[in-house]
Amino acid sequence: MRLVEIVVLIAIALAIAFLITVGFKYIIPLTSVRKIAEFYLYATYNSFKLENYTAMSPEAVTAIVWDFRGLDTLFETSVFYLALIAGLALTRGLIIERAESSGYGLSVIVKTVTRITAPMIVAVGASIALHGHLTPGGGFQGGSVIAVLPMVLIVVFSAGFLVLRGVTTSKLIIMRSLGLFGIGLTAIVVFLAGLATSVPAYVFQNMIKPGTGVSMPSHISGVLISGTLWFFNLFEMFAVAAGFSIAFIALMLAKTLETEKGD
Amino acid sequence: MNFAIALYGVFFKPHYVKKVIALTILGDTVNTFAIFIGYRRWVDQTPSRIPVLTDLSSEGVEELRSLAVDPLPQALVLTAIVIGLAVILFLVFLGWILYSHYKTLDMREIRRLRG
């Protein structure tokens, strides 16, 4: 380790320590939260006193992510989309999707256990995503959990196993685009309803707001779905799961091609 | 300290994968820090609660308002995690391209090959 490296390391550590020391009064937690957080907590499920501002979601984080600050999340989804498009563009022409027959992969024990756990992974992911407005979780988390499945399948069986089963990158891209289309549609559906019935409504509107006339239903046949939040979580789950699956398949198949070139 | 290690890794570790790992450590450190900022001190020895409403009534809302931690940093961290993941994904693809060009991911080697 060179001297300059040690000096830089110590300098960074001291600088961070200094910052923490100076700003400690913002780090020591207070018994009260900030005004905006208090409003979010108060308004997240308040059909009793605040019915014009509520998101009708018992889970405050999901309410913030998809309702109060929905535009943030929309552009975050766009960033994720663009990063994946960039990755696919970098490996374009190098992904050859071919179906590999059996004979590859780990032992039969691992394969059997994977076959048993595969539906469970999807079930857990879907549960996390579809209960995102009730319990901690949401579309991103559920989609990430589901995206574990193709990674496990690639490791346990082979890189071409998913292609053998008909899961190609083009199909996954279609699924992902459908998810994104659904997110876009959910964002403007209340606005479209407002246009159709000629009452004021906003883009990204969930529940009824002051000055508007329409809203998403918060319950469907007695089941709480929190208006748009349920649909956002559903479509986001599809988009994220398909996106990560594309990334794994692309990386694995591209690497296979590279080693063959080397041979 | 974690922050310092991560920055050190990004700057001085010669290997590309180690740089990416240091970058993830950096992101996780900042995210954890943001979560800490949103924490709430216990009121009258009552533990702070997660910002999830379990009692769907007017009293439950008041209790949540007076006891729950700040949900805003958690939402922002959720956003940050996904964007960080996207960036890492892109960096992995980029590293793969780098490897297929230079047959190595060591920055010193790459500099030597280019020069």
Identify the DSSP state of B13: -
Residue identified by tokens 């709430």 is B40
Contact of A8 with chain B, judged by CB distance below 8 Å, is answered with yes
- For residues A150 and A240, the answer to whether their CB atoms sit within 8 Å is no
Compute the nearest-CA separation of B45 from chain A (Å): 11
Which pLDDT value is given to residue A263?
Answer: 41
Reported as a single tens digit per residue, the pLDDT across B88-99 is: 888 888 888 888
- The average confidence (pLDDT) of chain B is 81
What dihedral do alpha carbons A176, A202, A224, B67 form, nearest 10°? Answer: 100
Q: Which two tokens stand for residue A114?
A: 């994977």
**pLDDT, mean of residues A34-62:** 79
Which pLDDT value is given to residue A262?
Answer: 47
What is the CB neighbour count within 10 angstroms for residue A27?
12
Which stretch of A26-30, A133-137, B110-114 has the lowest confidence by average pLDDT? A26-30
Q: Which two tokens stand for residue B103?
A: 């047959």
Q: What are phi and psi of A59, to 5 degrees?
A: -100, 110
Residue A121 has pLDDT above 90, yes or no: yes
Partners of A143 in beta bridges: none
Q: In this predicted model, which residue has the larger pLDDT, A118 or A256?
A: A118
Which range, A128-137, A144-153, A194-203, B35-44, is most confident? A144-153
Tell me how many domains chain B contains: 1
Q: Which amino acid is at B52?
A: V
**Residue A49: which of B92, B65, B77 has the closest Cα?**
B65
DSSP string spanning A64-108?
A: IIIIITHHHHHHHHHHHHHHHHHHHHHTTTT-------SS-SS-H
Which pLDDT value is given to residue A258?
Answer: 53
Q: In this predicted model, which residue has the larger pLDDT, A103 or B21?
A: B21
Contact of A51 with chain B, judged by CB distance below 8 Å, is answered with no
B40: nearest CB among A13, A29, A247: A29
Residue of chain B nearest A261, judged by CA positions: B100
Reported as a single tens digit per residue, the pLDDT across A137-185 is: 888 889 989 999 988 888 888 777 777 777 777 888 898 889 999 988 8
Q: Report the share of chain A in percent with pLDDT over 70.
A: 90
**pLDDT, mean of residues A224-234:** 84
Which pLDDT value is given to residue A43?
Answer: 80
**Distance separating alpha carbons of residues A178 and A108, to the nearest angstrom:** 36
Residue B20 has pLDDT above 70, yes or no: yes
- For residues A150 and A248, the answer to whether their CB atoms sit within 8 Å is yes
Residue A96 has pLDDT above 70, yes or no: no
Contact of B85 with chain A, judged by CB distance below 8 Å, is answered with yes
Contact of B69 with chain A, judged by CB distance below 8 Å, is answered with yes
Q: Which amino acid is at A81?
A: Y
Write the burial class of residue A232 (CB in 10 Å: 0-12 exposed, 13-18 middle, 19+ buried). buried
Write A116-121 long-range contacts (CB < 8 A, 24+).
Answer: A117/A152, A118/A149, A118/A152, A118/A153, A121/A145, A121/A146, A121/A148, A121/A149, A121/A152
Q: Which two tokens stand for residue A258?
A: 């590279």
**pLDDT, mean of residues A42-47:** 78
Domain that holds residue B52: 2-114
Kindly report whether the global pTM for this prediction surpasses the value 0.90. Answer: no
Which pLDDT value is given to residue A33?
Answer: 76
**Distance separating alpha carbons of residues A193 and A216, to the nearest angstrom:** 9
**pLDDT, mean of residues B25-34:** 86
Q: Count the residues in chain B.
A: 115
Contact of B113 with chain A, judged by CB distance below 8 Å, is answered with no
- Judged by DSSP in three states, B43 sits in strand
- With CB atoms and an 8 Å threshold, state whether A79 touches B83: yes
**Distance separating alpha carbons of residues A199 and B52, to the nearest angstrom:** 33
Compute the nearest-CA separation of A19 from chain B (Å): 12
**Distance separating alpha carbons of residues A191 and A173, to the nearest angstrom:** 28
Q: Which helix (H) or strand (E) holds A51?
A: none
Number of cross-chain residue pairs from A and B with Cβ atoms under 8 Å apart = 144
Reported as a single tens digit per residue, the pLDDT across B46-96 is: 777 788 877 777 777 777 777 788 888 888 888 888 888 888 888 888 888
B89: nearest CB among A46, A60, A83: A83
User: Whole-angstrom distance between the N-terminal and C-terminal Cα of chain B?
Assistant: 35
Which pLDDT value is given to residue A119?
Answer: 93
Identify the DSSP state of A134: T
